[in-house]
A and B are shown apart, each in its own frame.
Chain A
Amino acid sequence: MRKFKEFIIEKLILICGIASIFFVALIFLFLLKEGLAVFNIVSPFQFLFGKSWYPISDPPQLGILPLILGSLLVTLGAAIISIPIGVGCAIYIAEVAPLKIKEVLKAGIELLAAIPSVVLGFIGMVTLVPLVKNIFHLPTGLTALSGSIMLAFMAMPTIVSIAEDALYSVPKNYKEGAFALGATHWQTIYRVMLPAASSGILAAVMLGIGRVIGETMAVMMITGNAAVLPQSIFVPVRTLTATIAAEMGEAVVGGEHYFALFAIGIVLFIISFAINVTADFFLHKRQ
């Protein structure tokens, strides 16, 4: 009887495991099936490198280069802002901050991570957007720059907490060794701690950026959503994610537009997957 129970439980767990893989596969297949259909209308090259995105004109123009560049620009900007601040903050928390401040900061970072992105987007819309507009004297504050700043806030908690963890796990005796050799605190951090934690910090950065690339709500609210090739960071751009979210509702199921949006989904999926694999690689290298 007991054996039978064990047997049932084991099988149930197995089914759960298989089910999760099965669903992922199903989602991916669905994405492929709906997305690849777009290549009956445009070639993959035209799709990826076409400069115009007019999905409802006749005939539709389905080039997603403006969207890819929009995503890249916003993401790159967010990375440039969030990586130095995030890593700096991690160093401060792990190495410099007195215990009390450390706890306050950690709690603050967790809180930041807990704010829903739509709320952040809303706050950005009423504070950041006018600020950017006024500082740079722009016709509109809904720009790639605003999106980058906003997204930097979203990447920061991930970067800080994982990088801090990586620094914290550097063996204490490396630090002792460096100090005992007459290195200053900063020399120890810069030459011993950071290199020793480098793979963990890289993983932190990749995961932070992964979050940024997939982010939709906030970007849609503050980047202006113009599907044109961005010439600078001071113009409105549209990202891959915002395009899907904004247009899925109006696309006719089974139409060209509909297939194109799914194909965008495939592109996003591939980008996120690549980022996660890279992050994973660095995390495992660390062990």
Chain B
Amino acid sequence: MQNPTFEIKAMRASYGAKEVLKGIDINILSNSVTAIIGPSGCGKSTFIRSLNRINDLIPNFHASGDILYRGEDIYSGDVDVVDLRRRIGMVFQKPNPFPKSIYDNIAYVLRVHGFDMREMIDEIVEKSLRKAALWDEVKDNLKQNALTLSGGQQQRLCIARTLAIEPEVLLFDEPCSALDPISTAKVEELIHQLKQNYTIVIVTHNMQQAARVSDHSAFFLMGELIEFGKTQDIFTKPVDARTEAYITGRFG
């Protein structure tokens, strides 16, 4: 069995004095989809946002414990956070394309990372949009403002933008919660395809979604990891009574 992408031991996280993750131990396996499930407020977003250190933007946020990415402690002093975030892509709950054209949303990212040849940028824009299953819908309107796209298209543009810089991991924080069922199905299909090349972590509080897209599931409750295992096992024979209560819809 291959090495885990993330090895997390005794991870704690807090906002000011409020501790929201209380000692999480989990291994995230390579080239598989790991779903994080649990009722809202249990710390799912905090967890996933710690993995690419985007939570550093929140002034009073603090994380401790071991969070090893490919064996390297990402919270140690000498990690290049900017590079880390390039390698660990993230798609947010609310689609957040920049108020620029579809083309520029992707080209911007490429320019930030030092690409400046026009043909190369054109090529990657097309490739990323194809990977995100958006190319056919927008290929004639690349100059159109991204904010005029539908929510589902915006979200796929955000995925394309992330794919453009070839990350190693994709983090999704409830990527479909703002989308209609058809867009949701498209994004799920996309995640299914991306799985072959990426390690994926997806937060969702839609149980069916977790069951459909993930290989492993982790159930969080009030800042603790209650149960972690193969998605099939979690959904068919949960060990912990609280997990069972949650997946059968008795709370949350």
Residues on A lying within 8 angstroms of B by beta carbon are: 99, 171, 173-184, 187, 191-192, 195-196
Contact = CB atoms under 8 A, between A and B. Distances in A.
Interface string B97-113: 11110000000110111
A184 B111 CA distance: 12
Contacts of B59: 99
A179 B112 contact: no
Contacts of B96: 171, 173-174, 176-177
Given A173-B92, A184-B82, A191-B112, A179 B100 contact: no
Contacts of B100: 195
Nearest to B86: A182
Given A181-B165, A183-B82, A176 B99 contact: no
Nearest to B100: A195
Contacts of A191: 108, 111-112
A182 B54 CA distance: 10
Contacts of B83: 182
Interface in B79-103: 82-83, 85-87, 89-90, 92, 94, 96-100
Nearest to A182: B86
B85 A180 contact: yes
Given A191-B108, A196-B99, A180 B54 contact: yes
Interface string B198-210: 0000000000000
Interface string B50-90: 00101001010000000000000000000000110111011
B54 A183 contact: no
Interface in B109-164: 109, 111-113, 158, 161-162
A182 B89 CA distance: 8
Nearest to B84: A182
18 contacts: A99-B59, A173-B96, A174-B99, A175-B57, A177-B92, A178-B112, A179-B57, A180-B89, A182-B82, A182-B85, A182-B113, A184-B82, A191-B111, A191-B112, A192-B98, A192-B108, A195-B100, A196-B98
Given A173-B96, A176-B96, A191-B112, A181 B161 contact: yes
Contacts of A174: 96, 98-99
A196 B108 CA distance: 14
A136 B68 CA distance: 61
Given A195-B99, A195-B100, A181 B92 contact: no
A3 to B, nearest CB: 48
Contacts of B90: 180
A176 B112 contact: no
Given A173-B96, A174-B98, A181 B109 contact: yes
B92 A182 contact: no
A174 B86 CA distance: 16
Contacts of A171: 96
Given A176-B92, A181-B89, 18 more contacts: A173-B94, A174-B98, A177-B97, A177-B98, A179-B54, A179-B85, A180-B52, A180-B89, A180-B92, A182-B83, A182-B86, A182-B87, A182-B109, A183-B109, A191-B108, A191-B111, A192-B98, A192-B108
A184 B82 CA distance: 6
A203 to B, nearest CB: 17
A177 to B, nearest CB: 4
B165 A182 contact: yes
B92 A187 contact: no
Contacts of A173: 92, 94, 96
Q: Which of A99, A171, A181, A187 has the most CB of B within 10 A?
A: A181
A171 B94 CA distance: 12
A187 B112 CA distance: 7
A176 B98 contact: no
B140 to A, nearest CB: 25
Contacts of B92: 173, 176-177, 180
B98 to A, nearest CB: 6
A181 B97 CA distance: 12
Given A187-B112, A191-B108, A181 B99 contact: no
A181 B112 contact: yes
Contacts of B97: 177
Q: Which of A182, A184, A187, A191 has the most CB of B within 10 A?
A: A182
A181 B52 CA distance: 10
Contacts of B57: 175-176, 179
A40 B224 CA distance: 87
A100 to B, nearest CB: 12
A179 B161 CA distance: 13
